[in-house]
Amino acid sequence: MKLGARILKTGIAIVLSLYLSQLLHSPSPVFAGIAAIFAIQPTIYRSYLTIIEQIQGNIIGALLAVIFVLLLGNHFIVIGLAAIIVILLNLKLRLENTIGLSLVTLISIMETHSGSFIHFAGVRFSTIMIGVFSAFIVNLVFMPPKYENKLYFKITTTTEEIIRWIRLSTRHDFDHNLLKTDIEKLKENLIQMGQFYSMYKEERSYFKKNTLEKSRKLVIYRQMILTAKKSLDTLKRLHRFENELLHLPEKFQQAIQEQLDCLIYHHEQLMLRFIGKIPTPPSIAEGSICLDKKELFDLFLVHQQEVAEKDSPHLYHTMQIIASIIDYSEQVEHLDTLITSFHSYHDNELSIEEESQN
């Protein structure tokens, strides 16, 4: 098990909220700790949004608790009815994330039997808000994870795994069951890429130069994710239609293998060029010889004419493989254009740290 930043920040936020509640002589500091658990977020921006939402949700919970107790009392049935209305109001106002804490506020206030109810409600509401603000302070003080590093290394490790499988698939040298299992893992990695991309996108830059650089990086990372998806689509086609590949003419098989070898090599080079490990423009125009989509498509047309009279389903499966390869190559070419443009502005300087792989 790995101790992540969010786990650590949650513990610190709970300690801080309990300490502040005790310092301010709150009668129920435990509610501040509960609120801190709900309010902790992975990024500063999300924490800012959360604190705004939590304030609104807690006001709704506190106001309804006061109204119901003053009008109908605090019988269990009344508390249940108030909880239903709190949930409906939060949903109506699109505050779904605050429902849990709103209910905690509602119940913590309505469970009292004391005479000075308004004062008690104010104390409970203040205690819960101490927990919310404690979580926000922790997110500000403790630096969030560097999501750019996490995103880049998730993309590179996933891309390398896909490329490795494509290289083996074109040579028909792989274990079918193992590849099938790995394809499912690679799909999960693509989902994680999207999550890291969203986290990185939410991180705020405070200088104009950094904002412009980050905007360009976001475009590149989005294209990297799309290119990785297309490479995975190609791998799935190769895996699914391996039998069709084996029955293709030898010259056609060789052309597909050479095309994919050059394509994945180009893809690998781009990932390294982005972080400045390969110069831009590259010393050798690696894409000028091998990325010949027209030649590959012409070979497919020749093959089509040869088997058209047989009405073979293999033809349609082969067409899917070729279309996937061409789509993949177009995404790689577009990624090449974006990276070349990026380095024309930023001189190959990127802050990707190796330690973030762990």
The verdict on 118 and 178 lying in the same domain is: no
191 and 61 in a common domain: no
Out of 85, 111, 141, pick the residue that ends a domain: 141
Both 240 and 345 in a single domain?
yes
Q: What is the mean pLDDT of residues 233-245?
A: 87
Task: Write out the residue range of the structural domain in which residue 333 sits.
Answer: 147-357
Collect all residues with Cβ–Cβ distance below 8 Å to 3 and sequence separation of at least 6.
none
Same domain, 296 and 227: yes
Say whether both 47 and 158 belong to one domain.
Answer: no
* Least confident stretch, 12-26, 39-53, 204-218, 260-274: 204-218
Whichever domain contains 281, its CATH number is: 1.20.58
Read off the pLDDT band of 345 (50, 70, 90): confident
Residues 293 and 154 reside in one and the same domain: yes
- pTM for the model stands at 0.69
Q: Which of 92, 115, 141 is the last residue of a domain?
A: 141
Domain boundary among 100, 125, 141: 141
Q: What is the mean pLDDT of the chain?
A: 81
Instruction: Give the C-alpha separation, 244 to 208, whole Å.
Output: 54
Do 225 and 136 lie in one domain? The reply is: no
With residues binned 3-state (H G I as helix, E B as strand, rest as coil), the percentages for the chain, rounded to 5, are 80, 0, 20
For residues 31 and 163, membership in a common domain is answered with: no
pLDDT: is 282 or 287 the higher one?
Answer: 282
- Is the domain of 137 the same as that of 190? no
Across 186-196, average pLDDT: 93
| Mean pLDDT value across residues 200-206 | 72
The per-residue pLDDT for 255 is 79
DSSP 208-249: HHHHHHHHHHHHHHHHHHHHHHHHHHHHHHHHHTHHHHHTS-
Residues 93 and 175 in one domain: no
Considering the domain architecture, whether residues 151 and 59 belong to the same structural domain is answered as no
* Gap between the terminal Cα atoms of the chain: 13
Total domains present in the chain: 2
| 161 closest CA partner among 67, 271, 306, 72 | 271
Same domain, 113 and 262: no
